[in-house]
Amino acid sequence: MMWRDVGVTLILSLILPVVAQGARHTPPGKPKLTSCRSPDKETFTCWWEAGSDGGRPTTYSLFYHKENSETVYECPDYHTAGANSCFFNKNETSIWVNYNITVVATNALGNNFSDPVDVDVVYIVQPHTPENVTVGVLEDEDGPFLRVSWEPPRKADTRSGWITLIYELRVKLEEAEEWEEHRAGQQKMFNIFSLHSGGVYMVQVRCKPDHGFWSEWSTASYVKVPDYIPRERSMWILIAVFSAFIFLILTWIITLNRSSVKHCLLPPVPGPKIKGFDQQLLKKGKPEEVFNSLVVQSFPPRSTDYEDLLVEYLEVYVNEKQELMPEGKDLRDVGCLKSKSQSDNDSGRGSCDSHTLLMEKCGGVESKDESSYEEPELLQGQAGSWERLERGDSQVVDTPDSSDARVKTWPLVFSPSIHGSSDNHHYGTLEMPKQHSTSEITYSVPDHLFPTSTSFPHHHHPEYRDSLGEYSEYRHSRSPSTGVLYHWEAQHHPQAHSNFNIRNLERQKEATGLGLPPSRSMEYVEVQKVNQENQLVLKPLSSHGRGPSQVQFGRAVVDYSKVNGVNNDNVLLLQRQREMAEAGQYCDYREKEGAEAERYPTQQQGKTTKDGPVATQLQESTCLTTSGYVDTVPTMPTF
C-alpha cells in the first residue's frame, strides 16, 4: 500500500508540471506592427513582431481596410517578404489612400489584436540601394581622380517620373575612419579629386525619393589609386612669391630708412665745421661773401647761440701807472685777463687765446685790481660793419655771462647786434654773447659801436638780458691815460649768460654790404656801473662833460678808442686816442677768427707802436682818419 502511494506521488509529481504547463497556456500576446515600407511607390510590405505566444502555437494574420470602405481584407501574401510580414502587391496597393492595418495573433486559446495603424503608401517610400556602382580612376592634368557611377534600383520607376530619386555617396581611404559624404542630386555619376597617391578608397552610394526615406548603403567598392607625384608645385610657388614679396618689402623699408640705418651702424665722425661757412661760396672765390654770410646769420648772438660763439678774449692791459678802481662786486678774477677762450662747438675755433700774451702784460696785477687795459678786440663781423655807440642815458648793458666760474671772452657783437635792431635806437647796448666759462674778461667799450652794414637777423631789445643766468659783472675801470676803454671784468655768476647788447645806435639802412661810411659822428659813452641786473649802465660822455681823454682817478672813467672803421678784411680799425690826439695813426686791430684768436694788444698808453704783433697785420690795413672809438669787441666768428 505504501509503495503504491509513493508511486502515485512520484507519478503525480512528474505529471503535474506538465499539466501545469498546459495550464499556463494563454491567448497570445499582443502583436505589434513595426514598420511598413514601399520600395517603389507601387507595392509595400508591413512587418510586425509577435508578442508572447502564450505557450501555444500562434498564428498571425493581418487585416486591413481602406479608408473609404469598411471591407476588411486579409493580407494577400505572408511569405514573400519573410516571416511576420505581409506583402501588398501592385494590384492591392493604392496610393494616396489610407490603409488601416491590424495584426491578429491567434492561438488555441484565443487571439489578440494589435493596435491599428494608418498607412499611406506615399509616405513610406524607401527605395532599394543603387545598383551597379562602378568606380574608376581617370587621369587629369592635375592628377588622377575617381569617377563613380551607378544606376537606380531596379524597382524604382524613375523613367516615367513616378519616383524621383536623389543620390548620395560616401568615400574614404580604406584605413581611414571618417567617411566623406557627397550629395549627387539626381545625377548618376560623380567625380572625386585630390586623392592620396597609392591609396585604396572605398565608395558607397545610396538614394532617396523626393519625399521618403534613405535607402541602405550599397556594398563598398574598392579602388586603388596609382602612385603619382602630387602637384605641390603651386604651393611652393605661392611660398616663393610670398617670400619674395616679404623680401621686397623689407628691402624697401631699409631703403627708406637708409640714412638712419647707416647712422646707426656707422655713426658719423664729427668734423670741423664752421657755422655759417658756406663752402660753395668759398669755391666760387668770393671770400667776402663767405665772410658776410658768416656774419649775417646770427650776429650778435642770441642766448641760444652763445654756446657756439667763439670765445674771444679781450686783452686787458694793465697799466702800472694807473690803478683802476674796482667797482662793483667782487671780482674773483684777476684783473689780468685770463680769459681763455674755449671752443664751444666743434667748429674748431679756438679761443683767441693769447694767454701768454696776457700773462706778460698782466704780470703783477693784483687780483683785485683791475689795472688792465682792455684792448678792444677787433670785432670780426662783417667787414666794415661798425656800430656806433651813441650816448644814451643809462644804457643798460647786459653783462655777458659765464656759464662757468669764469667769464669767457665774449665776442662782442657790436656791429651786428646793434645794427640788427630795427628800431631807431639811440642807445646801443653792448651785447655780449653768451660765454662759457672763461676767466674774467675785460672789455673795452668803445663809444661807438660799429654799425653794421648788414642787418642781423636777430633783433635786439633795448635791454637785453640773458635769461639763462650767468651774468658777469663788468666793471668798468678807469682807463689809463692812454684811453683804456672800459675794463670789464666778468664776474662769475652762476647764472646763465648775460649778454652785452650793443644796440644799434644808428640804424643802418643798408641791409647788406660791407664797409662803413667812413666818417661818422661819434659820441662817447661812459659806462657808469654795472647794475644789479648785470647791465652796463652807460652814460654819455657829454653828459658828464668829460672828454674822451679824461681819465679820472677813482671814478669810472673810460677811455675810448675810436673805431675808425672796418676794412674789407673785417678788421676794426681802431683809433687810438692818443694817436688821435696826435693826429694819429690808426691801427687796425684785426681779430682773427677761430683758433688763431689772437689777443690784440690794444692800445697802450704811450705806445706808439702798440700794435705790436697784432698790428703787423694791421699795418697793412688802412687807417681811417676818423674819430671813431673802438670798442674792443671779441668778434664772433660765427654769426
| Stretch of 89-97, 102-110, 449-457, 507-515 lying at the interface with another protein (CB under 8 A) | 89-97
Nearer to another protein, 92 or 289 (CB): 92
Residue 98 interacts with another protein (CB under 8 A): yes or no = yes
Answer for the pair 611, 621: CB distance below 8 angstroms, yes or no.
no
Least distance from another protein to the Cβ atom of residue 148, Å? 16
* Cell output for 45: 510590405
Does residue 4 interact with another protein by CB under 8 A? no
Only segment of 93-101, 169-177, 269-277, 540-548 that touches another protein (CB under 8 A): 93-101
What type of residue sits at position 605? Answer: Q
CA dist 246 and 263 (Å) reads 24
Q: How many CB atoms lie within 10 A of CB 95?
A: 13
Of the pair 120, 404, the CB lying nearest another protein is at: 120
CB nearer to another protein: give 84 or 98.
98
Cα–Cα–Cα angle for 387, 324, 317, nearest 5°? 60
Question: Which residue, 160 or 255, has its beta carbon nearer to another protein?
Answer: 160
Instruction: Please report whether residue 210 would count as binding another protein according to CB under 8 A.
Output: yes
Please report how close the Cβ of residue 237 comes to another protein at its closest, in angstroms. Answer: 40
Question: Is 158 near another protein (CB under 8 A)?
Answer: yes
* Candidate segments 4-12, 116-124, 356-364, 382-390, binder of another protein by CB under 8 A: 116-124
Rounded Cα distance between 638 and 309, Å, is 6
Residue 639 · residue 295 · CB < 8 Å: yes
Q: Which range of residues in 156-164, 259-267, 321-329, 352-360 is near another protein by CB under 8 A?
A: 156-164
Shorter beta-carbon distance to another protein: residue 41 or 503 = 41
151 binds another protein (CB under 8 A): no
Q: At 133, phi and psi to the nearest 5?
A: -75, 120
Q: Is 90 in the site for another protein (CB under 8 A)?
A: yes
User: Binding of another protein at residue 278 (CB under 8 A)?
Assistant: no
The yes or no reply on residue 164 touching another protein (CB under 8 A) is yes
Instruction: Give the N- to C-terminal CA distance of the chain in Å, as an integer.
Output: 160
CA distances from 438 to 341, 344, 470, 529, 597 (A): 6, 11, 12, 21, 14
Q: Which of 74, 157, 360, 582 binds another protein (CB under 8 A)?
A: 157
Distance (Å, whole) CA 464 – CA 429: 8
Of these, 68, 219, 259, 424, which contacts another protein (CB under 8 A)?
68
* Cβ neighbourhood burial of 70 (10 Å; 0-12, 13-18, 19+): exposed
Taking CB under 8 A as the criterion, the residue among 37, 41, 460, 497 binding another protein is 41
Binder to another protein among 24, 79, 211, 283 (CB under 8 A)?
211
Number of C-beta neighbours around residue 629 at 10 A: 34
Q: How many amino acids of this chain bind another protein (CB under 8 A)?
A: 25
Beta-carbon contacts of residue 576 (< 8 Å; ≥ 6 apart): 482, 483, 561, 562, 584, 585, 586, 587, 603, 610
Q: Could you say whether residue 183 binds another protein (CB under 8 A)?
A: no
Least separation, in Å, of the C-beta of 211 and another protein?
5
Q: Judged by CB, which is closer to another protein: 134, or 251?
A: 134
Nearest in space to 469 (alpha carbons), one of 436, 489, 498? 498
Judged by CB under 8 A, the residue of 4, 24, 79, 159 near another protein is 159
Of the candidate residues 6, 10, 19, 95, the single one contacting another protein (CB under 8 A): 95
User: Interacting stretch for another protein, rule CB under 8 A, among 117-125, 282-290, 354-362, 573-581?
Assistant: 117-125
Residue 510: Cβ within 10 Å count: 16
**Which of these segments, 153-161, 280-288, 312-320, 514-522, binds another protein (CB under 8 A)?**
153-161
| The residue type at 172 | K
- Count other Cβ atoms within 10 Å, centred on residue 553: 10
Name which of residues 299 to 328 contact another protein (CB under 8 A): none
> Does 8 engage in binding with another protein (CB under 8 A)?
no
- Asked if 186 interacts with another protein (CB under 8 A), we say yes
DSSP string, 96-143: T-EEEEEEEEEETTEEEEPPPEEEEGGG-B-----EEEEEEEEEETTE
Residues at the site binding another protein, with contacts judged by CB under 8 A: 41-42, 67-68, 90, 93-98, 120, 122-123, 157-162, 164, 186, 188, 210-211
